[in-house]
Structure 1
Amino acid sequence: MKKKMSAFLAAVMIFSVLSGCGKKETKSGQSENVDHREKTELAFDNYGRKITVQGVPKKVLTLGPNCTELFCALGLEKYVIGDSLNNHSRGALPQYKETYDKIPELNHSSATRESVETSGADFIYGIDWEFGEEGLDVDELEQFGITTYMNSASTPDEMYQEIRDLGEIFCIEDKAEAYVKEQKTRISAVKDQAANRKPVNVLVYDSGNDGIFTCGGNNFETLLIELAGGKNIFDDQTKKQWITVSYEEAIAREPDVILIHDYDSPSVKEKIDEIKNNAVLSQLECVKKERFATIELESVLPGDRMAYTIEKLAGDFHEFS
């Protein structure tokens, strides 16, 4: 009987090692997750796409600076063999810069089909810009043994779910949940502070040429602005995340502040000069009073910077309220 029981316990232990994330004791006496999941297949609903992940991915591509920095924030940088879209980045936050800068660059701008398919990757976590008609084909990538999890959150709750899913995929559930909790706590504190203030009307200025390229109502940035005590003046435009509006439309909506995206080119200074020299926009009271706020483009994308961005915008909006 003892032999049978010993055999049973041994089998249970082997199954546990092969099928799950275990824990080990650290020197401080605390437990941390350990990657033991080799054979278990996990299933996820990735914004309507059903994906499965067999074991823990070993070679990951993070397509988008927001995706790369999230991996750094979660301590998953050791898995990343390449990233993209650093032309849309002003550099990682100070606490992640050293780690981020060590990650190899797959492509400085958008990832190319050839570079991805020859990378040796088995998993992609990438912003949805990188996929679709003009980007990568997720079905084709699957044929190369590459599973794709798209970063496509349009609300904080959706972003929290992405973080929890990554936690499950990489056996860091506790760390992922702690990160979500920390973000929620910081964001809640800003909401409480802004609750009694009148919302500041915000014009998002990504770029200008034949009109203003700005964000619509279903853009993740719109929610960040609202949580910081602002109101995107084009929040009623919900057909697309990114839209082009006329200068006359912007004037008619009377923004209190212009929020300028900071990324590769043109510079923030050049954009401010564009605005000031524009015959229509120069009539705005906020332009005359130089009520400009700036934010790095990657900071308004869904990722690890939700609390950081809301805190920064809240400070800027309070100055102009």
Structure 2
Amino acid sequence: MKKRWIGGFIMIALIGLLLAGCGTADQETGETEEAEGTGSQEETGTAEEAATDFEALTLDNYGREVTVTEKPTKVLTLGPNTTELFIALGLTDYVIGNSLKNHSRGPLPEYEEEYAKIPELTYGSATREAVTTSGADFIYGIDWEFGGEGLDVDELAGLGMTTYMNSATSLEEMYQEIRDIGKIFEIEEAAEAYVADQEARIAAVEETISGEEPVKVLVYDSGGDGVFTAGGTNFETLLIEYAGGRNVFDDITDQQWTTVSYEEVLARDPDVIVVHDYDSPSLEQKIEDIKNDPALSQLEAVQNERFVAITLESVLPGNRMAYTVETLAQGFYPNLFN
């Protein structure tokens, strides 16, 4: 009897310990779950606060007031120059589509990997349907994509898409675009650093060519009934000047792009011909056409093969200002840079 009693007592004690252990485990689990729940609430609160921290901006976009009330998350970059600028500023992940790859020979080598991550909205100009169904909340596009037969800014605004146009005609205006993007995407320090780098590189070129006589430059975009070229208010004309050249048609100030006769080209006798490289016809074909043209072949610049090739996106307002000034200056004054 005594042994049975002792054995029963031990069994009861063991059961009690097991039950106590389960209760402790349940209590600890409950405390852990409660702690995790508290942490999730705190994280959610932080995210909500971050979303509401954005301070509304009102910007002057070439006489058009642009108001941004929230930091954009889905961006369309319309134009290879605008796409590459976003990459250069570290904003690739915001871009959900781009356009005008037909005006491009591809990104600069340092941007190739990031550029490949961005989906193509349209190969050529952005269509209304592609843009309005994209789900974008912000558009940064070159000005010729809008108005006329292009996109309607007011319609896009009605669909919740804020439009900021790329339309610079001076370095200061392009720097302002970069600074505005810095404000919109809260990367003001990066934007300012990028501007400073561009300024320093261009200043270095100006110092190298100081004292040199300006080179007379013809911009050759394409041929046909005449030469399709850049006028005086074109951004490319400005870059040519910083590189030590002078656009021979800089007196045409009512049009950024225009067609001039072959006779006018002969009369202005350029020293160098800047040839645009993009899509079709190829750069090689354009140079061959110039050499075989009855009028242009008379130019000393053609006979001496004074051609400077430049991709079209490089002469559009964007991130390549310093790169283009450097490239053109090397072509205008090879003796100073080689």
TM-score, normalised to structure 1, is 0.88
Structure number with greater Rg is 2
Q: Is 1:235 the equivalent of 2:250?
A: yes
Question: Could you say which residue in structure 1 is the equivalent of 2:25?
Answer: none
Question: Could you say which residue in structure 2 is the equivalent of 1:30?
Answer: none
Question: Could you say which residue in structure 2 is the equivalent of 1:173?
Answer: 188
Q: Is 1:80 the equivalent of 2:80?
A: no
Question: Could you say which residue in structure 1 is the equivalent of 2:333?
Answer: 318
For 2:184, the aligned partner's letter is I
Question: Could you say which residue in structure 2 is the equivalent of 1:304?
Answer: 319
For 2:139, the aligned partner's letter is I
Q: Give the superposition deviation at 1:84.
A: 0.2
**Deviating runs (4+, > 3 A) in structure 1?**
35-39
**Partner Cα distance (1:295, 1:87) in 2:** 15
For 1:186, the aligned partner's letter is R
CA shift in 2, pair 1:269/1:37, >3 Å: farther
Which has the higher mean CA deviation after the structures are superposed, 109-118 or 285-294?
285-294
Give the number of the structure whose residues are more often helix, by fraction: 2
For 1:214, the aligned partner's letter is T
**Partner Cα distance (2:71, 2:253) in 1:** 37
Question: Could you say which residue in structure 2 is the equivalent of 1:110?
Answer: 125
Q: Is 1:149 the equivalent of 2:164?
A: yes
**Partner Cα distance (1:182, 1:39) in 2:** 28
Q: Give the superposition deviation at 1:212.
A: 0.4
Q: Please give the secondary structure, in 2, of the residue aligned with 1:208.
A: coil
Question: Could you say which residue in structure 1 is the equivalent of 2:85?
Answer: 70
Alignment of 1:193-212 (within 5 A): 193-212=208-227
Match of residue 229, structure 2, among 197, 214, 223: 214
Q: Give the superposition deviation at 1:115.
A: 0.4
Unaligned runs of 5+ in 1: 1-13, 19-34
CA shift in 2, pair 1:297/1:308, >3 Å: same
What RMSD in Å do the two structures reach over aligned CA positions? 1.5
Unaligned runs of 5+ in 2: 1-44
**Partner Cα distance (1:134, 1:61) in 2:** 19
Question: Could you say which residue in structure 1 is the equivalent of 2:278?
Answer: 263
Q: Give the superposition deviation at 1:48.
A: 0.6
CA shift in 2, pair 1:74/1:39, >3 Å: closer
For 1:124, the aligned partner's letter is I
Cα deviation digits, residues 185-234 of structure 1 (max 9, x gap): 00011011111111110000000000000000000000100000111000
Match of residue 113, structure 2, among 68, 85, 98: 98
**Partner Cα distance (1:37, 1:229) in 2:** 49
For 2:136, the aligned partner's letter is A
For 1:258, the aligned partner's letter is I
Q: Please give the secondary structure, in 1, of the residue aligned with 2:223.
A: strand
Q: Please give the secondary structure, in 2, of the residue aligned with 1:95.
A: helix
Give the number of the structure whose residues are more often strand, by fraction: 1
- Conserved in 2, the CA contact under 8 Å of 1:257 and 1:320? no
Cα deviation digits, residues 261-286 of structure 1 (max 9, x gap): 00000011111111111111111111
Question: Could you say which residue in structure 2 is the equivalent of 1:161?
Answer: 176
- Conserved in 2, the CA contact under 8 Å of 1:37 and 1:56? no
- Conserved in 2, the CA contact under 8 Å of 1:38 and 1:56? no
Q: Please give the secondary structure, in 1, of the residue aligned with 2:110.
A: coil
**Percent of aligned pairs with the same residue?**
65
- Conserved in 2, the CA contact under 8 Å of 1:228 and 1:311? yes
Q: Is 1:49 the equivalent of 2:74?
A: no
**Partner Cα distance (1:37, 1:222) in 2:** 43
Question: Could you say which residue in structure 2 is the equivalent of 1:223?
Answer: 238
Q: Is 1:125 the equivalent of 2:146?
A: no
